[in-house]
Structure 1
Amino acid sequence: MDIREVSVNHYRTNVRDTEFVLRELLGRDELYDTESFDEIDAGLARTMLTEAGRFATEVLAPSFSDASREPLQFDPATHTVTVPPAFLKAFAAYLKSGWLDPELPTDISGQRIPPSLRLAVLEVMLGANPSIPMGAYVVPQVVRLLHDFGTQDQRRLAELIVDRCWMVTMVLTEPDAGSDVGAARTVAHPQADGSWYLEGVKRFITYGDHDITDNIVHVVLARPVGVAGAGGPGSKGLSLFVVPKFHVDLHSGNLGDRNGVVVTGLEHKMGLTPNPTCELTFGGDTPAVGWLLGDKHDGIRQMFEIIKAIRMLVGVKSMATLSSGYLNARDYAVERVQGRSLSGGPSAGPVAIIEHPDVRRSLMTQKAHAEGMRALILYAGSIQDRLVVSQWAGVPDRRADATHQLLLPVIKGYCSETAWRLLGQESLQVLGGSGYLRDYPLEQYVRDTKVDTLYEGTTGIQALDLFSRKILRDEGAALDALLAEVATTAAPHPPASAASDTFAVERRQLSQALQAFRVLVGLLERRWQDDKPYGRALAAQDTTRLLLAAGDLLCGWLLLRSAETAARALAAGGLTEADVSFYTGKVATGRFFVRAVLPRIAADLIAAEHTDETLLNLPNAAF
């Protein structure tokens, strides 16, 4: 392969599987052309996916590899960052394309697109060139925040961000705080005119500076000082401030002088290198002037409205990259001739490596996980569909909200950890030594995906959130309801139809995995609630194990449902040759995952049952 082809042709979409999940597995067509979504029908939904794939492949994908190889430029004299020209062009085209409009508040966009369909479109964009949508996707989230919680001036700023295609950032992390947001030391001093002067240093700020747009609007967590009832210790003492790079005349939209937000460094990263990640200093020779969001000190809750969306984005991005990585590996395996078939006898000639048993195992492992994660993400999207419809009706569906909150840490943690592992362990491995070369996109996929396990909270943090907040605080209600759905699929068929149940073995496997998972949850709950000194610490050793087991269980459940759906389509007949191949693959994928992956949950339970105080008592010097 010519190295010049990689930047253009690296991306492989799987819109066919996306349509299957949305339409056949989840029945999303029933939403279209209803009172809630009366401007969209099934045909328009398919057109959106097709056009999204075209735009992503033709506009976003070409700069993927080239931008990664051309470094960002940081000028310490002017404290400015410039991005590679081709990347800038593609990014600007995305901001102006209208593909972000469905994510905007309905009052601004005039559109009502089901969240499940929006997630499907987001996957296509993220797979083609993740650095671009990962930065741009924050724009509608900040616009929504300003629109829903902001003052009249801040809502006007939201309009300008949309009209002028300005960029935004979310500014949380500090050099000495890391994941402990509550340890932030950036402070905000109130001024007589109602503004605030911010002082402090923030790091790992995605798109903290660049030349893509004329202005950047930062939303910054800082601790107010000298204000009664605000600015206390920990994360609850933080407030959220709106701090533009350049001051703005809200009436005309014209830009004024540069604000006191200074780029003091550009992070040099392992992956996503076109994405400028900066250290920012607020204050100094020029004050960093900001405005309290909504004139209300409620920073953490306000910022989490963005964080929740970004955590979902990270899960989608991981899945999209694994999917494209798998399809690249599959295409290579079909074309690469090497070795002889183990079943062809000594006289058999060389065969494509897809004929080798371990390569087939590897490809199915990638396919099953990528398609399982896609089904999980779009299932979460269907829960969001329920939630937004209920909100528009004025009667919010609290159970849908709780289920969505439960799924977020699983999607973020499981998808990021699994995609990173399989891209390196399986996708790249299929290509052998070629996978380690820049002639093929897999080495960049691996580099770009590792950070997903760290973005917006490490996997350990996601696991603690899942267990202590989403399961225990809810007294397991949302989890129990979700597991009841799994149990319905796992239940044996009635005696009259049991003999014809072609998935009887898979149902037993799913049932056994479900039972092991329930016992694992109960074990951790008992340890967490134990009065012994090490009770919670013992439980915390296995919360990541629990999160990953939850991901396996839910993917296995949805893949088995997909296999049943595909089997019915095959039995109905009247299919094209391509459809027969697709549905046959779906049946095999469900069987494989349930049989080969789900048994690990029983092993996870055994390991957790043997967890004791050994690691907790081990001297630090022994590590």
Structure 2
Amino acid sequence: MAVMTHYRGNVGDLRFNLFELLGMGDLLEGYELDVDTVNDMLTEVERLASGPVAESFAEVDRDPPVYDPASHSVRMPEAFKRSYRAWMDAEWWRMDMPVAAGGQGAPRMLWWALVELIQGAQAPVFMFGGGPSFAGLLHTIGTPEQRRIAEIMIDRRWAASMVLTEPDAGSDVGAGRTVAKQQDDGSWHIEGVKRFITSGEHDLEENIVHFVLARPVGAGPGTKGLSMFVVPKYLFDAETGELKGRNGVYATNVEKKMGIKVSTTCELTLGANEPAVGWLVGGVHDGIAQMFKVIESARMQVGVKAIAALSTGYLNALEYAKIRVQGADLTRAADKTAPRVTIDRHPDVRRMLMLQRAYAEGLRSTYLYTASVLDRGDPGMNDLLLPIVKGVGSERASEMLMLSLQTLGGSGFLQDYPIEQYIRDTKIDTLYEGTTGIQGQDFFFRKIVRDNAECLNRLFAQIEQVPDEAVKGALAEVRAMVDTMLAWQKAAKDQPDEIYKVGQNTTRLLMSVGDLVIGWLLARSAQISEQKVAVSKFFGETVLPELSVRRQILERTDNALMEDVW
């Protein structure tokens, strides 16, 4: 008997993107893979996602983890444990690890395609399962002794968490006050409070290894003074992995949240009543650079999570629209005897469905293209595109899921359907790993200004090659936006207030470049497949023209907003 599932995957579109649009086939030989094997992988992971991973999706939202303040522990729901174990036992996570650490080599675009399937079914299953990836990082950048720790983490499937944020620092990581004091034996004692720590406490595995940013005593201010330490929940024998007893890092709160309720978002207190023992990662004080390897992957993961939710939301809405009968066809609206039709025949519903499809498929192409440039040895282009995947992906997914809700009408507001949970679970994607505003600033100041727009211009050169007038027009508008903002940036050297004009428009630019990239990839897809022609035409005619208005708004920016208007 088939398992009923909320999740609607789109393996067909994944295959189209991987093999037809992005040409992954010519990379497979280097990984000892072939097309048939990859197709089998996609089929098997979709089965896993729509079956045991998706099975507990709604139940654990209604029956979330239980935090015990007396023992500082969390009891996870049994249903979630089954979903989590199904994913971990399948060991697909080995594709995200170095081969030297026991990983299975594969193109990054294939890895992220598989991640889309799992995250669309139930993202926290994937999020809790990040221990092997952290172990792979430690194996790569750690000392020889720490490589052994990484092997233990993998063999015993220990969990891990990324520990950056502090209550008074937020996204300003350099303002963190957690301190590290070196001990005579070479270890460190960490003292401080961290907040918003995903997967910071749970009972899914016997141990959790926290990767903590802290400031060694005597180190300078800002991010350059930070170092990264491994701080395990339980101390252990460094050769055998045998647990030795509790370390001084405790969950002192678990946040009550709007969505992804099964994901334990913790406050962690280190070194309050007993030492929180840690070890300097790699034996070097290079914490922010080390942690950014984690952050970059996390931003990709967040973007893919949001895009996956949009895809299943759209497919659920489409399925509903095809069977929900209501109203007569608009051409016979005045005829009281006219037969009722399914709502997918109503023009405005079709508009909403096509817009959802355009963003779902266009954003899928965007994140896979972002992974593909890394596969082909262009890390600079990958860096440029990451804020688009995370910032634009999360914002558009959140917007479009509201259209999925509109498609279902009042039924979408009920827990009988998954859309309301998709909306709650996805809103966080616009916030964590850097809000959309932070992604916009990163995109302009770090990814465009810092390299004199070299990568951006290379991207524009690729976009120019598509013979699509709507895309070419949108490209001209975006180029004008960038030129105006770069002029303000230059003028700010003599007129500091000019930088405010830039700051008012970094998010607008990010969203506009995102729409341009989506339109471009949809147009490229339409050149390959007739099935993509309608969605590319729709996006080019209804979304890309908006960039002209955005450019006009940007060019008219003044600094009146920065006056005391409140």
Scaled by the length of structure 1, what TM-score is found? 0.89
Q: CA deviation at 1:96?
A: 2.3
Counterpart amino acid of residue 413 in structure 1: G
- Out of 589, 599, 604, which is 2:545 matched to? 599
Cα displacement string for residues 283-308 of structure 1 (whole angstroms, at most 9, x for unaligned residues): 02210000000110000000000000
Matches within 5 A, 1:388-427: 400-424=378-402, 426-427=403-404
Q: Distance in 1 between matches of 2:142 and 2:435?
A: 30
Partner of 1:472: 449
Q: Distance in 2 between matches of 1:81 and 1:110?
A: 30
Q: Distance in 1 between matches of 2:136 and 2:64?
A: 33
Partner of 1:145: 137
Q: CA deviation at 1:135?
A: 2.6
Counterpart amino acid of residue 81 in structure 2: L
Q: CA deviation at 1:26?
A: 1.3
Q: CA deviation at 1:139?
A: 2.3
Is 1:174 paired with 2:166?
A: yes
The residue matched to 1:197 in structure 2 has which SS?
strand
Q: Distance in 2 between matches of 1:119 and 1:262?
A: 32
Partner of 2:346: 356
Q: Distance in 2 between matches of 1:110 and 1:92?
A: 19
Matches within 5 A, 1:574-613: 583=531, 586-613=532-559
- Out of 303, 307, 322, which is 1:319 matched to? 307
Matches within 5 A, 1:258-337: 258-337=246-325
Partner of 1:395: none
Q: Distance in 2 between matches of 1:97 and 1:439?
A: 30
On the 8 A contact 1:96/1:165 being kept in 2, the answer is: no
Partner of 1:217: 209
- Out of 36, 42, 51, which is 1:58 matched to? 51
Q: CA deviation at 1:134?
A: 2.2
Partner of 1:575: none
Q: Distance in 1 between matches of 2:243 and 2:223?
A: 33
Matches within 5 A, 1:91-102: 91-102=84-95
Q: CA deviation at 1:55?
A: 0.7
Matches within 5 A, 1:123-202: 123-136=116-129, 138-202=130-194
- Out of 515, 522, 535, which is 1:559 matched to? 522
On the 8 A contact 1:141/1:309 being kept in 2, the answer is: no
On the 8 A contact 1:219/1:241 being kept in 2, the answer is: yes
Gaps of 5+ in 1: 388-399, 491-506, 568-582
On the 8 A contact 1:315/1:413 being kept in 2, the answer is: yes
On the 8 A contact 2:101/2:136 being kept in 1, the answer is: no
On the 8 A contact 2:229/2:279 being kept in 1, the answer is: yes
Is 1:380 paired with 2:380?
A: no
Moved more, 508-517 or 297-306: 508-517
Q: Distance in 2 between matches of 1:26 and 1:185?
A: 45
The residue matched to 1:431 in structure 2 has which SS?
helix
On the 8 A contact 1:239/1:300 being kept in 2, the answer is: yes
Cα displacement string for residues 467-518 of structure 1 (whole angstroms, at most 9, x for unaligned residues): 011111111111101101100104xxxxxxxxxxxxxxxx221111100000
On the 8 A contact 2:253/2:266 being kept in 1, the answer is: yes
The residue matched to 2:314 in structure 1 has which SS?
helix
Partner of 2:19: 23
Cα displacement string for residues 281-332 of structure 1 (whole angstroms, at most 9, x for unaligned residues): 0002210000000110000000000000010011111110000000000000
Counterpart amino acid of residue 143 in structure 1: A
Is 1:525 paired with 2:486?
A: yes
Partner of 1:250: 238
Against the structure 1 CA distance between its residues 110 and 95, is the aligned structure 2 distance closer, same or farther, given a 3 Å change threshold? closer
Gaps of 5+ in 2: none
Cα displacement string for residues 51-87 of structure 1 (whole angstroms, at most 9, x for unaligned residues): 0100111110001110110022111111101111110
Is 1:428 paired with 2:405?
A: yes
On the 8 A contact 1:8/1:63 being kept in 2, the answer is: no
Scaled by the length of structure 2, what TM-score is found? 0.98
Q: Distance in 2 between matches of 1:185 and 1:320?
A: 36
On the 8 A contact 2:5/2:51 being kept in 1, the answer is: no
The residue matched to 2:466 in structure 1 has which SS?
helix
RMSD over aligned CA atoms reads 1.2
Partner of 1:501: none
- Out of 508, 511, 517, which is 2:472 matched to? 511
Q: Distance in 1 between matches of 2:437 and 2:490?
A: 20
